[in-house]
């Protein structure tokens, strides 16, 4: 167990008993590309996560070490100075410490060893887990609470500082997740609630297509944001109170269709319908209707493929393979697009057979080896006993 390795490494090397903190990764059941349109999302925090073993020290330094991904140790002075480092994760911690120093947060000396079992780059929000878990760890050592809402904002600011212009969905899912529940978040006012996942006899499985996001992703992502903004500007001419696609209706789209490009209208229609899919998913999850949940997943995938055009041939192939396997109730690509994972709802009774069939058929069709992960829904950031 990874958390035991981290704790024993800390005890051996720092001669004290640490506090152990777990920050989970997250999935998103439905609601892609809705967050930057002030829309609705339905993520959940998962069992896989990043663990931080931490303890206070008396030497006015924050020492951070990992022995898993790239073994490296970084020492930050409480004044904010540090030696040069090469690890990607150091940039996140540097940004967080700079923000806390600017906010005059009373930092104390701390030793920290971290590691985890979230696959990096697979769309499970390892960076949000890293940032939120580290900030929470600092509060445990410094004895000054920061609200979870404020931890989310600091973590988001740290990501922005290093060039990732993210919304707040990932941070909120990592901080506020609840075991056995999906987490409904309204990105307009940040109100949230919990939806129990009542699907006895069914399992959630993630299949990693092993198609890595390519450099085109950022420009394609920006093009879609611009499409959404174009529609909002046009609708505002008749309805000046509109501030985002969240409040644009399908009727509004019909009204402006002759004044906008067809591609912009197509993309806006996707976002409006995706918000409705989030509401529909909440309803069918509450009913415990697994087949209806599967239908929403499939509908969401093909809308991303045909309307928003953010999937790949390989991800489409994975979903099609699932559609032809009895016991795979529904699948869809998860995340920003152009690579990554599919999330799949499968009957538990023939789970192993279906996973094996899916991976074999995918290999035959694409010559790529996919990987799979069983998903369990767990709590948000917490002290891990």
**Letter string b/e over residues 18-40, b meaning 16 or more CB atoms within 10 A of that residue's CB:** bbbbbbbbbbbbbbbbbbbbbbb
Burial of 225 (0-12, 13-18, 19+ CB in 10 A): middle
Distance CA 232, CA 238 (A): 10
Phi, psi of 202, deg, nearest 5: -130, 150
Assigned token pair, 37: 């349109």
Assigned token pair, 180: 């056995």
Query: Residue 176 in contact with residue 89, Cβ under 8 Å?
Result: no
DSSP 17: P
Residue 111, phi-psi category: left (phi > 0), alpha (psi -120 to 50), beta (remainder): beta
Distance CA 369, CA 359 (A): 7
Helices (H) then strands (E): counts for the chain:
11, 12
Looking up tokens 């829309």 gives 39
**Cα distances (Å, whole numbers) of residue 292 to 23, 136, 276, 318, 350:** 31, 38, 14, 20, 19
Show the DSSP H helices in 103-248 as ranges: 126-142, 148-161, 169-176, 216-236
Active site residue 170: yes
Query: Residue 133 in contact with residue 153, Cβ under 8 Å?
Result: no
Give the list of residues 6+ apart from residue 81 with CB closer than 8 angstroms, or none: none
- The helix or strand, by DSSP H or E, that contains position 287, with its residue range, turns out to be helix 262-287
**Cα distances (Å, whole numbers) of residue 180 to 169, 204, 313, 341:** 18, 12, 33, 21
Looking up tokens 């899912």 gives 173
Catalytic residue among 35, 170, 252, 316: 170
Residues 255, 337, 221: CA angle, nearest 5 degrees: 55
Distance CA 334, CA 341 (A): 6
**Residues taking part in catalysis:** 170
């Amino acid at each position: 167990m990874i958390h035991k390795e981290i704790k024993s490494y800390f005890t051996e090397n720092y001669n004290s008993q640490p506090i152990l903190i777990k920050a989970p990764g997250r999935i998103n059941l439905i609601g892609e590309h809705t967050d930057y349109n002030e829309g609705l999302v339905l993520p959940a925090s998962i069992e896989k996560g990043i663990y931080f073993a931490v303890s206070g020290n008396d030497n006015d330094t924050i020492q951070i070490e990992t022995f898993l991904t790239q073994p490296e140790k970084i020492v930050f002075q409480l004044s904010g100075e540090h030696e040069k480092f090469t690890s990607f994760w150091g940039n996140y911690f540097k940004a967080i410490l700079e923000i806390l120093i600017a906010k005059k947060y009373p930092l104390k000396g701390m030793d920290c060893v971290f590691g985890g079992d979230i696959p990096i780059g697979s769309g499970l929000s390892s960076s949000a887990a890293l940032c939120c878990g580290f900030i929470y760890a600092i509060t445990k050592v410094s004895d000054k609470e920061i609200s979870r809402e404020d931890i989310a904002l600091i973590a988001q600011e740290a990501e922005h500082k290093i060039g990732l212009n993210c919304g707040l969905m990932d941070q909120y899912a990592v901080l506020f997740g609840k075991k056995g529940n999906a987490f409904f978040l309204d990105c307009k006012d940040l109100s949230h609630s919990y939806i129990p996942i009542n699907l006895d006899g069914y399992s959630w499985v993630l299949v990693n297509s092993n198609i890595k996001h390519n450099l085109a992703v950022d420009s394609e992502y920006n093009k879609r944001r611009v499409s959404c903004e174009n529609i909002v500007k046009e609708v505002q001419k008749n309805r000046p109170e509109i501030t985002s696609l969240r409040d644009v209706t399908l009727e509004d789209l019909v009204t402006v269709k002759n004044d906008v490009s067809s591609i912009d209208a197509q993309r806006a229609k996707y976002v409006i319908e995706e918000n409705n899919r989030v509401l529909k998913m909440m309803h069918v999850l509450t009913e415990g209707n697994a087949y209806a949940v599967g239908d929403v997943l499939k509908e969401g995938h093909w809308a991303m493929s045909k309307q928003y055009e953010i999937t790949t041939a390989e991800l489409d192939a994975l979903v099609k393979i699932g559609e032809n396997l009895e016991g795979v109730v529904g699948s869809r690509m998860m995340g920003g697009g152009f690579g990554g994972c599919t999330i799949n709802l499968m009957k538990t009774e023939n789970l192993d057979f279906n996973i094996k069939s899916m991976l074999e058929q995918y290999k035959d069709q694409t010559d790529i080896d996919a990987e799979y992960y069983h998903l369990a829904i767990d709590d948000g950031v917490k002290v891990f006993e």
